[in-house]
Chains A and B, each alone.
Chain A
Amino acid sequence: MSDPAQNGITQNHVNGALDERIDCLVDELLSPLTPIDRAAAARRELVALPRGSDHLAQHQRVDERLRVLFAPPAKPAVPALSQLAQIPLRTPKRLHPLRIAAMLLFASAAAIAGWALLSHWSQSMRERGPSWDQLYMAEINSGFDPDLKYTTQAELTELFVIRLGREVTLSQRDSSDGVELVGISLTPPAISIQTLTLLTRVDEKPVMMMADALSRDVEPPFDAGSGLYLHRREAPPLVYYEVSPWPEPRVIPLLSEPTERICPPCDEEEAPTAQK
């Protein structure tokens, strides 16, 4: 027993092909360009097809009305020659070489001026931000109170992973190193939004350590006359800074080298340009 659905599809296909054939025959038959013998053949085939005569009759009527409704005027109104003579001819514009040179010069000058403005603007924007010694002082003035208090080594490591995608740990410490981990400051970011700022006390004096991706490293704005020291160490793909009253870095040496990538945030750091 045949499938009714399959039969329906087949029937539609047949009807579609039949309609197509009827349309072709109608078109051929109604065209005055068709030779008489071909038109006669088309008519014979058409009337033999189901619905062929109906379609032919309808199209004949439609065509007849279209010829009436859209018959062009015997002489459509076109502009008279005298009218056309008044229209100025537009000559294609050819630029003079000197004008081209002037335009190129102008474009170059505009590009240079734009670049200069942009670099000046970015420089001033950078200068407008607080220097790192100011950030340090701001932390002191606000009580050196961290946003996240240091609890465990594991938690700090997890924070490194979350922020920078690298596992960084503090080396085995004893009380003799004089370093007390206070916590993490979330504001303001020194290098980028991902900067991890660790507040510590070294021999009772506040020391601020910042870590970020080396690829995002910047020229640190720092006032050398502030009485503070800025220490830096690259540990690809990370970079560490330490703002401290001590002439030697005390916190950075405690940090282990960042180990394998754990999560995606460090993808960009692995680009070759990350090397400084």
Chain B
Amino acid sequence: MKTVRHQPSATSASAARLTRDEFARRLEASARLFWCIAAGILGRRQGADDVVQEAAMIALSKLDEFDPATSFNAWVSQIVRFTALNQARRHDRREAAPLQDDVSSRPARPGSAVTSDGRVMSDQQDFDDEVLRALATLEAMPRACLLLRVVMELSYADISQALSIPEGSAMSHVHRARRSLRERLESSHHAPRPHPAGAPR
């Protein structure tokens, strides 16, 4: 009978250490992922860059704590997540209704109509506003999972690794987020017209 004896890995934490160059290379390679996590946690594009930069600085200052045998993306993602949560809290404290401000401050798109009270109206922009509002009502983690799934087109296994959560949780976060978005959009009368073949609700 053959016995397999476990040999300690040559790349154990104490033996190997990530260099600054390697860190920068890996950071750049996964920057879009980190940005998307930041945007997902924040619920908006604004500030996502800042979060990634701040998280990168923090990660670098703690580079000695990183075990190269583990996932770099998971490690940095966790720092991004915490940094984004901190920034979201700071942002919430500063502004009473941040989302409304963000939405209203967006420039009108070509083809937009302007109402008598000066409000920009267009189907597309209204729908985007509704999507952003509905998205803002989600919790940070389901929102981040949904964006990673839809925007970054990650598998549930990858989302699970990036956010350090079980795969099943990632899946249920996405499903719940989708359903919540759908229900909120339907209640905002932005649902598509019922399908003729569809059963009555």
Contacts and interface: CB of A to CB of B under 8 A. Distances in A.
A81 B36 CA distance: 22
A55 interface: yes
B108 interface: no
Contacts, number: 131
A63 B197 CA distance: 23
B64 A90 contact: yes
Category for how many chain B residues contact A: 35 or more
Contact of B192 (A20, A61, A73, A75): A61
B45 interface: yes
Interface in A58-113: 58-59, 61-63, 65-73, 75-79, 81, 84-85, 87-92
Interface stretch (A26-34, A134-142, A182-190): A26-34
Nearest to A79: B56
Interface string B150-170: 111101000000000000000
Given A51-B195, A51-B199, A76-B35, A26 B178 contact: yes
B28 interface: yes
A235 interface: no
Given A58-B185, A78-B52, A67 B150 contact: yes
A91 B178 contact: no
- A-side binding surface: helix, strand, loop or mixed? helix
Interface in B31-58: 31-32, 34-36, 39-40, 45, 48-49, 52-53, 56-57
Interface of B: 20-21, 23-24, 27-28, 31-32, 34-36, 39-40, 45, 48-49, 52-53, 56-57, 60-65, 127-128, 131-132, 135, 146-147, 149-153, 155, 174-175, 178-179, 181-182, 185-186, 191-192, 194-195, 197-199, 201
Interface of A: 19-20, 23-24, 26-27, 30-33, 50-55, 57-59, 61-63, 65-73, 75-79, 81, 84-85, 87-92
